[in-house]
Structure 1
Amino acid sequence: MVKKLLLIFIFSIYVFANEKNMPSIVDLTWLKQNISNSNLVLLDLRKKELYEKDHIKNAVNIPALENLFAEKFFMPNIEQLQELFSNAGIKNDSLVVAYDDGSFIWSARLYWILEILGHNNVGVLNVGYKNWEENTLALSSKPFIPKKSNFTPRVDNTKVQTKLSTLLSIGKKTIIDGRKESHYLGKESIAKRFGHIPTAQNYACTQNYQVTSTGNKIKNLDELKTVYKDIPKDKEIILYCDGGADAALNYIVLQELGYKASVYDGSWAEWGNDEAVPIENPSL
């Protein structure tokens, strides 16, 4: 009986920790309403020098390129990420909101990584930094140092793919290339080979947001539903790009639209440099 109660207790904790209590795409109204929530953790993914100029008050700076990528654009190891998020003050019940310069790929990368580590209460701000009316949010130039927490990862492997699993999925799952068209067509490449993974369809991550005179903003779901209307929902989706950031933005949007998606960690930076795996190059 005691053992049964203990199992129920553990299961309840797990379900609670994985329950989504906030939007994945956060608007300014939600952020303003929750800005004083003691469980809110704000993360600024911009470069340190931009953060030091000014940032949303009480936001913690995690420069994306230095912290969310290991060698060759792979995800950092679990120990590094556990320390990073503990230092940022993220607890199991934290509501995490990430923002960046309006490219959205850096905040999306962080979102995807946190979900892999079992933290589902995370969202990305739907506008780039300062793309709002003056005095909407309190700003500061003083770095915010949060109280260190004990972030506990609960790894979810269903949200990440490898080179092998991607190779085995060709012709079986939907594969989406999130790079710009010139890379997909084989006219440009960050790798020694040019082109794309066989059967991959091109949906550049830039289709997910609109560029305005004041900055960028993620499109609403009705507009995004139109963008992805030709993708069937009866197949799982594998996403990739150059290094896993652009694909993470597609990942968030497709999840919100009801698709089951995961990201190939390593992406074209790995695939395009491996002569052993197939490619298609429309430019030849």
Structure 2
Amino acid sequence: MSGHNGLISTAELADILDRPNLRLFDCTTYLEPAPEGSSQPYLTVAGRHTFEAGHIPGADFLDLQAEFSDASTELRFMMPDVAQLEAAFGRHGISNDSRVVLYSIGTPMWATRFWWMLKSLGFENVSVLDGGLDKWKFEGRPLDTGPAKGYAPATLVAEPKDGFFVDKHETLAATSEHGTVVVNALGPQFHRGLEPSRYGRPGRVPGSCNVSAATLLDPKTKAFVPLAEAEAKFKAQGITKDKRVVAYCGGGISATVDLFLLHRLGYDNLTLYDGSMGEWAKDASLPIETG
């Protein structure tokens, strides 16, 4: 299975649902409009309600903001310290011997975010379900309802890897580095600053190119586009394998869709600007570009 470079199909998952070392998770979060005057760009609502309404049999639920993000910052979904992640993944039954499969609803970005986090901890046996719950349901496959039964707690020992995350200073430096390309996964209208931004100043990290995460997915099945199509989109923006890639979006979530496909295409110098526009747009000391 590892030959699939992190991707697993619904048919392949159906075949391994009864494996004792499988750890299967719904990772969905919903972004709801923030009330007037809120300092937050949106409210984060864990997808527990849709999990309980229907999930792949045996799956558990992961709450990204509550358990797997840094609670000490105003920014949502920031990478917490390794000890917090080891404890949280362990509580959900992940050990170094587990086979982890991740999925989400409507978009794979919540699953790819957890994939990226696990990879950064040196955990390799992790796959994202192509098409997520949408494709699973579309194919008429079985569902369970009700709260998660969960997995027996386990111990995960991380071997953290450098280079998976960069901050605003490293991202600013990257904009003038020959051999680095900065890519924005938000939609083109936000990239160009044509629409008001929920994060603050409209626009983009100067010099960044745009490969919107939405263009890397089939709108009907929510599956990833074929690799050749993804590669053409990246190459059209000057993203080639000899370059280092710094990806960003609004909150460090949809950019992991770009990173997932780049990884599957064999790009290996990949990093995520974790703060993304949630941080950049608010910091008046950082340059921003529109048009």
TM-score range, shorter chain: 0.7 to 0.9
Which secondary structure state, in structure 2, belongs to the residue aligned with residue 175 of structure 1? strand
> For the Cα contact (< 8 Å) 2:248–2:277, is it kept in 1?
yes
- Write the letter of the residue equivalent to 1:218: F
In structure 2, the partner of 1:269 is 278
Q: Give 1 or 2: higher helix fraction.
A: 1
In structure 2, the partner of 1:258 is 266
Match of 1:220 among 226, 243, 246: 226
The CA distance in 2 between the partners of 1:101 and 1:62, in whole Å, is 13
> For the Cα contact (< 8 Å) 2:68–2:88, is it kept in 1?
no
Which secondary structure state, in structure 1, belongs to the residue aligned with residue 235 of structure 2? coil
Query: CA distance change for structure 1 residues 134 and 255 in 2, over 3 Å: closer, same or farther?
Result: closer
The CA distance in 1 between the partners of 2:162 and 2:271, in whole Å, is 9
> For the Cα contact (< 8 Å) 1:240–1:267, is it kept in 2?
yes
- Write the letter of the residue equivalent to 1:233: K
> For the Cα contact (< 8 Å) 2:68–2:84, is it kept in 1?
no
The CA distance in 2 between the partners of 1:59 and 1:91, in whole Å, is 16
Match of 1:139 among 124, 128, 144: 144
> For the Cα contact (< 8 Å) 1:21–1:121, is it kept in 2?
no
1:88 CA displacement:
1.0
Which secondary structure state, in structure 2, belongs to the residue aligned with residue 216 of structure 1? coil
Match status 1:158 vs 2:163: yes
- Write the letter of the residue equivalent to 1:122: V
> For the Cα contact (< 8 Å) 1:44–1:100, is it kept in 2?
yes
Structure 1, gaps ≥5 residues long = 1-19
In structure 2, the partner of 1:63 is 63
- Write the letter of the residue equivalent to 1:40: L
Query: CA distance change for structure 1 residues 185 and 79 in 2, over 3 Å: closer, same or farther?
Result: same
Which secondary structure state, in structure 2, belongs to the residue aligned with residue 262 of structure 1? strand
Match status 1:83 vs 2:116: no
1:139 CA displacement:
3.0
Query: CA distance change for structure 1 residues 192 and 140 in 2, over 3 Å: closer, same or farther?
Result: closer
1:22 CA displacement:
5.9
Query: CA distance change for structure 1 residues 134 and 182 in 2, over 3 Å: closer, same or farther?
Result: closer
1:140 CA displacement:
4.2
1:242 CA displacement:
0.5
Structure 2, gaps ≥5 residues long = 29-46
- Write the letter of the residue equivalent to 1:194: P
- Write the letter of the residue equivalent to 2:250: D
In structure 1, the partner of 2:50 is 50
The CA distance in 2 between the partners of 1:22 and 1:138, in whole Å, is 25
The CA distance in 2 between the partners of 1:56 and 1:79, in whole Å, is 29
In structure 2, the partner of 1:200 is 208
1:136 CA displacement:
2.9
CA RMSD in angstroms comes to 2.0
In structure 2, the partner of 1:189 is 197
Match of 1:96 among 85, 94, 100: 100
Match status 1:35 vs 2:17: yes
Match status 1:179 vs 2:186: yes
Q: Which deviates more, 64-73 or 229-238?
A: 64-73
- Write the letter of the residue equivalent to 1:98: L
> For the Cα contact (< 8 Å) 1:22–1:95, is it kept in 2?
no
Pick the structure with greater CA Rg.
1
Under a length normalisation based on structure 1, what TM-score does the superposition of the two structures give?
A: 0.86
> For the Cα contact (< 8 Å) 1:32–1:137, is it kept in 2?
no
Which secondary structure state, in structure 1, belongs to the residue aligned with residue 23 of structure 2? strand
> For the Cα contact (< 8 Å) 1:102–1:217, is it kept in 2?
no
In structure 2, the partner of 1:229 is 235
The CA distance in 2 between the partners of 1:139 and 1:249, in whole Å, is 27
- Write the letter of the residue equivalent to 1:269: G
1:245 CA displacement:
0.2
Which secondary structure state, in structure 2, belongs to the residue aligned with residue 155 of structure 1? coil
In structure 2, the partner of 1:13 is none
Under a length normalisation based on structure 2, what TM-score does the superposition of the two structures give?
A: 0.84
The CA distance in 2 between the partners of 1:182 and 1:171, in whole Å, is 24
- Write the letter of the residue equivalent to 1:181: P
The CA distance in 1 between the partners of 2:139 and 2:274, in whole Å, is 38
- Write the letter of the residue equivalent to 1:30: E
